[in-house]
Structure 1
Amino acid sequence: MKKAFSFVFILLLFVAKGNADSPPSWTPFKVESENGKFFSWVRFGDNDTTKSPWERKWALIVYKKDSTELWQQLIRPMGYPEGKLSNDGMYFSYVNYWYYSNSPIVEVFRREKKPIAITGDKFDIPTQYLQQTSSHQLWLADKGYHYANGAKQQLIINTRDSNTWLVDLETGELKVEGVNMNHVYAFLASSIIITLLYVLFRKRNRITFVNKT
């Protein structure tokens, strides 16, 4: 039985990695809010079929449930059908599962406001926590990301180093909540060990010098 569970776990792991490296589809896609009151389309924003999909303009369009258009903005998707629409229809968050240090990996599109863009280096994720696939690095935890419940206008993002980040959807401020101290403790432990080894080395050299004299 244990062998069967192990086999299933390994199979799921390979499937997950395969999906992470699957080629982008570059097709229009629909995203609904969790409460079902709003939906959005990410589709081509031009009619120039002579260009490749990634060269064309793309538009994000948000609607009420009755198909009344609320707002739209230009968007540059990564070719995957991904994103989350808030329950008030005011925000559309597009989070890239692939990690890029100097490029936006989180974008929040807002009604009548400029989008929020956050690059990977702002999350300060230690390299050892980034999961390497055949072609990319994954940075999101299994919990992924979601909007805060209640009146708080926040996007909650869970990273692979066990940190939880909050994005203020009004100001764009990014802050960490519940810092994972494991890598801090590991650094402190390494520093202590190095210090002790240095002290022992100095003592050994001193004893050797005394014996020689």
Structure 2
Amino acid sequence: MPTVIFADSPPQWCTKYAIESANKRFVAEVGPKEVGPKDKPWKWKYKITVRDNTNKADILWTQEYHHTGYSSGMLSNDGMFFVYVETWYYPLGNLITVYSKNKIRNFNAFNLSVYPIDLPRSVSHRLWLDYNKPEQFIEKNGRIIGLVLETYKGRREIKF
């Protein structure tokens, strides 16, 4: 049986990036709120701004953003939620962060019942997500109500 090894990529620290919703109607822009030393972007303060793509001047909401150095995330098709999902497993840190107009919610390994036993390893981290099944928003009656994702420990659903 062949051995598969996952190589780890350090964060690129793109200090300004944008993510569109799947329906292309909304865009989430992440950028600096307060700039610190140029060579230490991890010390900067960031914000996320969600706009309607049909009218870029129309800001739906802005929120503080906890940048990890990776330029990824998901914006819901109604523009109400931006979700960042960590690639690596952290037993104590946040694995999922959900941003919205009025709050930031964090979900850690304990909240998601994901523990390190039997999780596959990369060169320096444990992996917790099944990359063959991407995360998806849960919709009910035309409203986004949560997120479903597949982990190496099974399916997990979180409600917003």
* TM-score (normalised: structure 1): 0.66
Instruction: Determine the C-alpha separation between the residues in 2 that align with 1:44 and 1:26.
Output: 11
Q: CA deviation at 1:51?
A: 6.1
Q: CA deviation at 1:50?
A: 4.5
Q: CA deviation at 1:150?
A: 4.4
Asked if 1:114 is matched to 2:74, the reply is no
Cα distance change, pair 47–126 in 1 and its aligned pair in 2 (3 A): closer
Q: Which has the higher helix share?
A: 1
* TM-score (normalised: structure 2): 0.87
Letter in 2 for 1:30: A
Instruction: Determine the C-alpha separation between the residues in 2 that align with 1:126 and 1:58.
Output: 30
Residue in 1 that maps onto 2:64: 74
Residue in 2 that maps onto 1:64: 52
Q: For structure 2, which runs of at least 5 residues remain unmatched after alignment?
A: none
Q: Which has the higher strand share?
A: 2
Name which one, 1 or 2, has greater alpha-carbon Rg. Answer: 1
Residue in 2 that maps onto 1:39: 27
Instruction: Determine the C-alpha separation between the residues in 2 that align with 1:126 and 1:72.
Output: 33
The root-mean-square deviation of aligned C-alpha atoms, in Å, is: 2.0
Q: CA deviation at 1:49?
A: 4.2
Letter in 2 for 1:104: N
Instruction: Determine the C-alpha separation between the residues in 2 that align with 1:156 and 1:46.
Output: 33
Range with greater deviation from structure 2 (119-128 or 78-87): 119-128
Moved over 2 A (4+): 47-51, 121-129, 149-152
Q: How many residue pairs align between the two structures?
A: 154
Query: Is the 1:105–1:120 Cα contact (8 Å) retained in structure 2?
Result: yes
Residue in 2 that maps onto 1:147: 137
Letter in 2 for 1:165: R
Q: For structure 1, which runs of at least 5 residues remain unmatched after alignment?
A: 1-5, 170-213
